[in-house]
């Protein structure tokens, strides 16, 4: 703030900053405890192949089980985890658990199912991400083609040259790469095509308003057709009703994910759902 605004403004600014810092420190301590107590769990949201109508895989989504009736969603803690570097430990846990569970499906004969895991920017830009994932794949015995990593545009665009190398190394392991929340960042498909990616996930903000907002429908339509011309698969996230499903089907969208198919479910619940 400018000096002209006077002394009180400084005081106000300082105290809110202090409060913010204290909240973050408290959250950091709680997250460390949660790690020790193994309170992080994964929920799984199925993804449907629109051509066959069958489940093609699931996205692993982290939750913090803080006490019996208190499930905390990632938007409340992922950012602090990212800022404090705790995301590296938490993220490793997520990748391992997701691979173990998907391997269980494969061992039951469900070898078509894949698992998608969200990777945050600091996780992705950490030196040994390739080695970590290679080791987890070896350790769990999951075939690499069954693992898909979800990165946002901003993670890739943060330092594009480095990202291209890391993506190339990850791809050489045999896994899949998808761009999450596509359409909300500042990248373009003509730029992204220089990266070895397999799938675009159209952000749910476009899908949820398909019916009411003609512009969103046109954007979704254009993204699908452009992605296909670049040989990319398309997932629509946030599909909440049958009209959206019909529209996406008519536009030849490859996969659908959203509450209309199923909410994210605990491990036990998703296995009931599969049956
Ligand atoms: P995302 O990766 O884009 O995940 C999709 C989010 O949309 C999930 O929220 C999911 O529950 C929600 N969703 C799915 N279908 C619908 C729908 O039909 N309508 C609406 N309104 N929402 C729907 P969730 O689980 O709260 O996760 C939020 C974000 O947190 C994720 O967005 C992802 O960016 C991040 N996240 C989740 N798990 C992890 C993780 O293990 N590691 C990292 N780094 N980030 C994670
Ligand atoms: Mg995701
Ligand atoms: Mg998303
Ligand atoms: Mg997201």
Q: What is the ipTM of this complex?
A: 0.97
- Is pTM beyond 0.90 here? yes
Task: Say if residue 19's pLDDT is above 90.
Answer: no
Residues in the chain: 275
* CA angle centred on 178, ends 176 and 181, rounded to 5°: 165
Residue 210 pLDDT level (bands cut at 50, 70, 90): confident
**Ligand 1: residue whose CA is nearest its atom 2:** 118
* Contact between 205 and 184 (Cβ < 8 Å): yes
267 in contact with ligand 1, CB cutoff 6 A: no
Shortest-distance ligand to the CA of residue 120: 1
**Ligand 1: residue whose CA is nearest its atom 37:** 61
Helix (H, G, I), strand (E, B) or coil at 203: coil
262 in contact with ligand 1, CB cutoff 6 A: no
* Per-residue model confidence as pLDDT tens digits over 122-157: 999 988 999 999 999 999 999 999 999 999 999 998
Alpha helices in 37-148 (DSSP H): 78-83, 87-107, 121-124, 129-140
183 in contact with ligand 1, CB cutoff 6 A: no
pLDDT at 79: 93
31 in contact with ligand 1, CB cutoff 6 A: no
Share of the chain above pLDDT 70, in %: 95
pLDDT at 21: 86
- Name the one residue in this structure whose structure tokens are 């008519």: 250
Which of 60, 64, 74 is the pocket-test mutation for ligand 1 (most atoms within 8 Å of CB)? 74
What rounded mean pLDDT belongs to the chain?
A: 93
149 in contact with ligand 1, CB cutoff 6 A: no
Region 7-19: mean pLDDT is 68
94 in contact with ligand 1, CB cutoff 6 A: yes
The listed range with the strongest mean pLDDT (3-12, 159-168, 263-272) is 263-272
């Amino acid at each position: 703030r400018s000096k002209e605004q006077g002394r009180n403004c400084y005081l106000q600014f300082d105290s809110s900053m202090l409060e913010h810092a204290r909240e973050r420190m408290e959250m950091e301590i709680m997250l460390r405890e949660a790690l020790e107590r193994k309170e992080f769990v994964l929920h799984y949201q199925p993804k449907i192949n629109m051509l066959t109508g069958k489940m093609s895989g699931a996205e692993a989504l982290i939750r913090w089980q803080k006490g019996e009736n208190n499930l905390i969603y990632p938007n409340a803690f992922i950012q602090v985890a990212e800022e404090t570097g705790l995301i590296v430990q938490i993220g490793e846990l997520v990748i391992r658990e997701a691979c173990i569970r998907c391997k269980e499906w494969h061992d039951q004969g469900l070898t078509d199912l894949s698992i998608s895991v969200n990777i945050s920017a600091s996780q992705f830009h950490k030196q040994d991400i390739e080695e970590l994932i290679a080791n987890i794949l070896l350790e769990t015995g999951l075939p690499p083609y069954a693992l898909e990593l979800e990165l946002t545009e901003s993670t890739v665009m943060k330092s594009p040259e480095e990202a291209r190398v890391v993506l190339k190394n990850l791809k050489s392991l045999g896994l899949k790469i998808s761009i999450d929340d596509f359409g909300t960042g500042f990248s373009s498909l003509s730029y992204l095509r220089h990266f070895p990616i397999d799938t675009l996930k159209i952000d749910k903000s476009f899908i949820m308003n398909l019916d009411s907002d003609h512009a969103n429908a046109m954007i979704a339509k254009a993204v699908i057709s452009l992605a296909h011309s670049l040989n990319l698969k398309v997932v629509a996230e946030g599909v909440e009703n049958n009209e959206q499903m019909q529209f996406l089907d008519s536009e030849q969208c490859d996969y659908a994910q959203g509450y209309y198919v199923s909410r994210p479910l605990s491990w036990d619940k998703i296995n009931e759902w599969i049956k």
